[in-house]
Chain A
Amino acid sequence: MKIVVVGGGEVGYNVANTLSEEEHDVTVVEEDEERADKVDDELDVITVRGSGARPQVLEEAGIFPGCDVDILVACTDHDEVNILACWIAKRAGVKRVISRARALEFTDSPTWAKDLGIDVMNSPERSVAREILELLFVSSAVHTAELLDGRSGIYALRVSPNSALVGLALKDLRTLYPNFIAIIVYIERNGEGYIPYGEMVIQANDLCYIVTSREQAWKLEEIYQMKKSRPLKRVLIIGGGKLGFQVAWKLESQFRNLDIRLIDHNREKCERLASELKRTLVLCGDGADESLLRQEGIEGADGLVCATESDEANLLFAVIGKALGARKTIAVVRRKIYMKLDNYMSVDAIVNPNSALASVILRHARYKSGAGVLSIIEKIDAEMLELVIPAKSPAVGRTIMSLGMPKGMLIALIVRKGDVFVPVGATVVQAEDKVILFATSDLMPEAMDYLGVQ
């Protein structure tokens, strides 16, 4: 496919890199000389220098009426540039245009993007804010992502050595916990990832990715970590940017009695935040000020969210917070290389809006619009797709067991007439079922064939 990526920053670079490795013809449009040079030197793509909002520049990148470009991805830091690039591309006949939106207003209403002729518009800040909330909610989860508009979720938990699960084969899980509807879709063991199968035996310290409904998520901790889940009482947020604000605002609306404290060093920003957030205590100060942190109850706080503009500051604040006694610390980073640091630093979870966005864009670029795309945890090399079974699919009327799907792919959830359930081998697939399909990236096309989805 011919793909034009507007913007060669952190997001654009990673998207272009992956797409060119998948043998697509990629052209990157970048205005900044240094970034363009980096893309030029390191990636097998064509670089066009200039602003993606200018028709002449886009024409140089191959976008003109009657062109054969399949996808345009606009992921610069400027919404205006992204929207304009998408608009120009759409008018030139580009089949699909995907835009990043930094201002959340653009994704508040689903019709906004449609009116502009943009096929997909994504604000990573929104989904990342939700991810942070989930991480706070299920406090032992290392990663989370939501499924089906938040009705279900995927949670990554480590199996503690004293858990009853250790030594248990997956197929026996259901008999042990008959009322707990959950399915393990991925297991990470000693740095290697597996899509599980019935005979696989759980070991201590496995990192299990579990799909379950939100109402039951709190039970996970009991089962995997052998500790009682406790309601959230106090959360501290450092950094009152877009993401910090989103987190505070969402926490306010979801937890009635939660004590939320937000720290930012910019007085003006604090004034504005204080007027917009009704129940949050806005503090103007430094995130590394020990006495301030202690005074505001960092010790014993259920969560510390570090969401300033600086990746390095966030990581350090999280470490400091942990040292001062916060139960769970979450750092927001934007650079890819920092994602792996949770193995080396005492940070409980690291979230990355940029790679979340990159993975959403990549999935939209890879699969045609028929397949709903889900936000996915970036760290694992497996994909999750939301699909609707077409009426003429070969799978209709057959049990899942009889489909004979090989190892490496599984159906995690089925939504049928509003009910969400985890399928078993004897579950019969019906037309119009919405399924959550989970597979390693290389097997995904084959898995879609089994279900008769293009």
Chain B
Amino acid sequence: MHLRLVSKVLSLLSAIVSLSMLWPLVWSLWDGTSDVRAFLLSIAFGLALALLLYAFGKHADYDDLGIKDGFVAVSLAWVIASLVGAMPYWLHGTVPTFTDAFFEAMSGFTTTGASVLSDIEANPRGILFWRDLTHWLGGMGIIVLSLAILPFIGVGGMQLYKAEVPGPIPEKMTPRIQQTALYLWGVYVLLSAAEAVLLMLGGMNLFESLTHTFGTMATGGFSPLNKSIGQYNSAYFDWVITIFMFLAGVNFVLHYRFLLGRWGAFWRDEEFRFYTVLTVFCTLTVTLVLRLHGTYDSFADALRFGAFQVVSIITTTGYVTADYELWPTYTQFILLLLMFVGACAGSTGGGMKNLRLMVLARHVRAELSSILHPKAIVHVRVGGKPVGREIIASVTSFFILYIVIFTAGTLFMTILDLDLITAMSSVAATLGNIGPGLGGVGPMRNYAAIPDSGKWVLSLFMMMGRLELYTVVLLLLPETWKR
């Protein structure tokens, strides 16, 4: 563990986060609202923290960055980002306690979208913009952003990249890590611009189209409106956002290849096919049940609301256009299951990821056939290529760890005297970075009523979910902190 080196990396992060507050500050100054002071103080706090961390670690050498340092630096980076990011909410008095402010910031950066704000629209635009900007920064990853814009991180960047990018096998699109990070962000910005333009063409104003774009592309879920996207009651907005949520849940490497002119990039990818088929199947079955049940009068409406909710949950975005708590139980259970599935590896979405589930299912299949044919050598394949034993082992233990954390978390939430549905779904919705759950944290309600200790634990789960368990769980091992 090179503590000074970690401190140096963290100083960069703190600086990036505080400087990105200049953007919401522009809205505040434009509107002349009361949050100007909060943003100025937050920026000063963030920069002072950056200086302090830098002073401690300025002599450290980036080349020394080892595996442990990578994990520690990335985990702490998200803590620091949330700490600095919580300042505006706290200083402005958006929320009553620092716990709430930290929860809201962590929920933003991890693209969860779980909120403690009840009357969202009562807040100034600067604060609302900041909520969604944290989504957007966290979506593609703050570490990946710093790798892209700060060339001097050097070889150690690979360790940081691996610790932050979701998926069992982080892919590099180009030989150099900095270029990869730059292209990932490039694709991200491009898709975001496309969505913002489409929303504006539909008549949404600049502020709302930007915030909703940030919330969509990062698969976040914060909206500046009290009733989320449902407030517009517009089929056009619903479909545009459905499509872009779906795209944000796709591995960004595929977007990159597609944009390079390899038109077959999407369909050739087995995980993408799995993700598409799963999404389409769930949408159709939910639509059918909704229509048969008479929840909606026309098939078109059933499809529109069914698709939006299904895509929103599977990509772990968490935007809502309907109160699915009023839906038939079957559809609610489908949504609950999708909370665990999540999006594709290498996307901005959370959850366990389709790729892991594919590997698991095929591993089970391989086990079965090796029982029938004891002498057979059976390989698990994804995309035609055999998956290595270590990867299968890592995916299996990821699955177990996920279930264990989910169970332990639910147990903890029941100790806080929440009802079973609320306890379970709040853990599932934060660990999967979705946001809205069921029951007390359902789509029309929020997390304000959860006790403080519960909010801290859920904040930890959001971070675990975003960094895919291992990175954060390793922090809890004493070995990590030894030399």
Task: Contact check, A43 vs B155: say whether CB atoms are below 8 A apart.
Answer: yes
Question: B176 contacts the other chain (Cβ, under 8 Å)?
Answer: yes
Task: Contact check, B155 vs A44: say whether CB atoms are below 8 A apart.
Answer: yes
Question: B4 contacts the other chain (Cβ, under 8 Å)?
Answer: no
Question: A215 contacts the other chain (Cβ, under 8 Å)?
Answer: no
Contact of A25 among B155, B158, B174, B388 (CB under 8 A): B174
**Interface digits, B165-176 against A, CB 8 Å rule (1 contact, 0 not)?**
000000010111
Task: Contact check, A20 vs B388: say whether CB atoms are below 8 A apart.
Answer: no
Task: Contact check, B388 vs A23: say whether CB atoms are below 8 A apart.
Answer: no
Question: B15 contacts the other chain (Cβ, under 8 Å)?
Answer: no
Question: A33 contacts the other chain (Cβ, under 8 Å)?
Answer: yes
A5 to B172, CA, bound (A): 17
A20 to B179, CA, bound (A): 13
A-chain residues with CB within 8 Å of residue B175 when the two chains form the complex: 2, 20, 24-27, 44-46
Task: Contact check, A33 vs B388: say whether CB atoms are below 8 A apart.
Answer: yes
A-chain residues with CB within 8 Å of residue B158 when the two chains form the complex: 41-44
What number of residue pairs across chains A and B have CB atoms under 8 A from each other?
A: 29
**Interface digits, A322-349 against B, CB 8 Å rule (1 contact, 0 not)?**
0000000000000000000000000000
Task: Contact check, B155 vs A23: say whether CB atoms are below 8 A apart.
Answer: no
A-chain residues with CB within 8 Å of residue B388 when the two chains form the complex: 33
A41 to B157, CA, bound (A): 11
Question: A21 contacts the other chain (Cβ, under 8 Å)?
Answer: yes
> Which residue in chain B gives the minimum CB-CB distance to A3?
B175
Within 8 A of B (CB), among A1-38: 2, 20-21, 23-27, 33
Question: B86 contacts the other chain (Cβ, under 8 Å)?
Answer: no
Task: Contact check, B174 vs A44: say whether CB atoms are below 8 A apart.
Answer: no
Question: B177 contacts the other chain (Cβ, under 8 Å)?
Answer: yes
A interface bracket (residues with beta carbon within 8 Å of B): 10 to 19
B-chain residues with CB within 8 Å of residue A44 when the two chains form the complex: 155, 157-158, 175-177
- B174 to chain A: closest CB distance in Å? 7
Within 8 A of A (CB), among B111-157: 155, 157
> Which residue in chain A gives the minimum CB-CB distance to B389?
A33
> Which residue in chain A gives the minimum CB-CB distance to B151?
A23
Task: Contact check, A46 vs B172: say whether CB atoms are below 8 A apart.
Answer: yes
A46 to B253, CA, bound (A): 14
- B384 to chain A: closest CB distance in Å? 12
A120 to B158, CA, bound (A): 32
- B392 to chain A: closest CB distance in Å? 14
A-chain residues with CB within 8 Å of residue B157 when the two chains form the complex: 44
A21 to B179, CA, bound (A): 14
A387 to B175, CA, bound (A): 32
Task: Contact check, A21 vs B172: say whether CB atoms are below 8 A apart.
Answer: no
- A36 to chain B: closest CB distance in Å? 10
B-chain residues with CB within 8 Å of residue A20 when the two chains form the complex: 155, 175-176
A-chain residues with CB within 8 Å of residue B176 when the two chains form the complex: 20, 23, 25, 44
B-chain residues with CB within 8 Å of residue A26 when the two chains form the complex: 175
A44 to B176, CA, bound (A): 6
Task: Contact check, A21 vs B155: say whether CB atoms are below 8 A apart.
Answer: yes
B-chain residues with CB within 8 Å of residue A24 when the two chains form the complex: 175
A335 to B217, CA, bound (A): 48
A23 to B154, CA, bound (A): 10
- B156 to chain A: closest CB distance in Å? 9
Within 8 A of B (CB), among A282-333: none
B-chain residues with CB within 8 Å of residue A25 when the two chains form the complex: 174-176, 179
A289 to B157, CA, bound (A): 50
A42 to B155, CA, bound (A): 8
Interface-central residue, A21, A24, A44, by most chain B CB under 10 Å:
A44
- B290 to chain A: closest CB distance in Å? 46
> 18 more A-B contacts (CB under 8 A) besides A42-B155, A46-B172?
A2-B175, A20-B155, A20-B175, A25-B174, A25-B175, A25-B176, A25-B179, A26-B175, A27-B175, A33-B388, A42-B158, A43-B158, A44-B155, A44-B158, A44-B175, A44-B176, A45-B175, A46-B174
A-B contact pairs, 17 of them (CB 8 A): A2-B175, A20-B155, A20-B175, A21-B155, A23-B176, A25-B174, A25-B176, A27-B175, A33-B388, A41-B158, A42-B155, A43-B158, A44-B155, A44-B157, A44-B158, A45-B175, A46-B175
